[in-house]
Amino acid sequence: MTDTTAGFDKHNSMILIVDDTQQNIQVLGSILMKENYQISVARNGLEALSAVEEVKPDILLLDIMMPELDGFETCKRLKESPDTKDIPIIFLTAKIETDDIIKGFELGAVDYITKPFNAKELLVRVNTHLDLKHSHESLRLKEQQLREAIAAKDRFFSIVHHDLKDPFNILIGFSQLLLLNYDKYEEEKIKEIVQHIFDSTKQASNLLENLVQWARSQTGQIQWSPCKIDIRNIVKENIEILNDTALKKNVRLHSEIKKPSFVYADENMINIIVRNLISNGLKYTPDGGEVRISARDSDEFVELIISDTGIGMGKDDIEKLFRIDVHYTTRGTSEETGTGLGLILCKKFIEKNGGKIRVESTLGKGSRFMCTLPKQEGD
């Protein structure tokens, strides 16, 4: 009978037996294998240290008296490393002195069983510690999810509070100016003010679009409807939408995708990704620069590449890009404002579609954002 709680099958767990006596290994191995545990064996402490890295055991049954490196020292080293400190260790030993038992627990073992042992008791103890390990892992995961949810909520409020205010203040200011002075202003001046109003409305609308999409994705309300889509078309449509901005900034915007390139993904999400990445390229590229979009195929993926010859980013800043708990945003080369939400949304949507996003950038030279998406063969 398998014992499964919320997808966790403890009888599939990997148990590392560390013992230098062949007979002990055989006895233990057959007891555990009867219960369908996966077994790995190390014959001394040093072997155990490398086996732990290799097989990533769920629990260790550790003898104490062994050549090379004894069980106490092995336990100490495992507990010192962040990668292995959480693996439960049960000492299984002929050392029955109270001082040894105390030492074992002080070194961080979860249990101490003396030889000769009772097979049923050993199994019950192993099971209990596997359950506990699983509960700890679930708690840690939930804690991490909770921390992310709190960071997301904080970010949401901060955007509503700060970033939405800017464009609306500009809108109110300029429209009021126009209302009060409409009769006095020359046509040129009116045009200039209307342009400001238009730019601000566009900025607020882009921001709201990202905010709504992101809020939906956070609450699981966003639909994921993948189908066969042609990346070349999506890029073309977005270039048409953003061409005005490119012309105004005197940035050359062009696609090098010459033939249809099909991916299996959600069209709405891919549109948002492409628009955000091209917008960023334009935003952070000065007069006379270039934003270029290309694509390359591998066996399973299409990689979409958005490169610009803009201001680029330093290594420290690149590390802040996709993090919800870090509010990182800088003004564009024409003082465009932002929220630092676009790339977080891009990463979320790319991953939802089974792809990955990465970035290469050099300060003063430009940036390259690369996204992979599952390829779909054309008809």
Which residues of the chain form contacts with ligand ADP (CB under 6 A)?
A: 276, 280-281, 284, 308, 310-313, 321, 328-330, 338-343, 367
Our CA angle for 23, 25, 29, nearest 5°, is 120
In the complex, least distance from residue 344 CB atom to ligand ADP, rounded to whole angstroms = 6
The least CB distance from residue 335 to ligand ADP, in Å, is 12
* CA pair distance 171, 166, nearest whole angstrom: 9
Nearer to ligand ADP, 295 or 324 (CB): 324
Give the whole-angstrom CA distance, residue 181 versus residue 160: 31
Q: Partners of 292 in the beta sheet? A: 254, 307
CB of 151 to ligand ADP, least distance (A): 15
CB-nearer residue toward ligand ADP: 41 or 343 = 343
How near is the Cβ of 252 to ligand ADP at its closest, in Å?
A: 15
Residue pair 40/16 in contact (Cβ under 8 Å)? The answer is yes
The Cα 49–Cα 55 span in angstroms is 10
Nearer to ligand ADP, 204 or 341 (CB): 341
C-beta of 129 vs 348, nearer to ligand ADP: 348
- Residue whose CB is less far from ligand ADP, 8 or 156: 156
Q: Alpha-carbon dihedral of residues 250, 251, 256, 261, nearest 10 degrees? A: -110
CB of 210 to ligand ADP, least distance (A): 8
**Closer Cβ to ligand ADP, 274 or 311, answer by number:** 311
Task: Select 268 or 376, whichever has its Cβ closest to ligand ADP.
Answer: 268
User: Which residue's Cβ has the minimum distance to ligand ADP?
Assistant: 338
Which CB sits closer to ligand ADP, 5 or 362? 362
The number of residues in the chain equals 379
**Cβ of residue 25: shortest distance to ligand ADP, in angstroms?**
54
Tell me the closest approach of the beta carbon of residue 349 to ligand ADP, in angstroms: 13
- State the nearest-atom distance from the C-beta of 170 to ligand ADP, in Å: 16
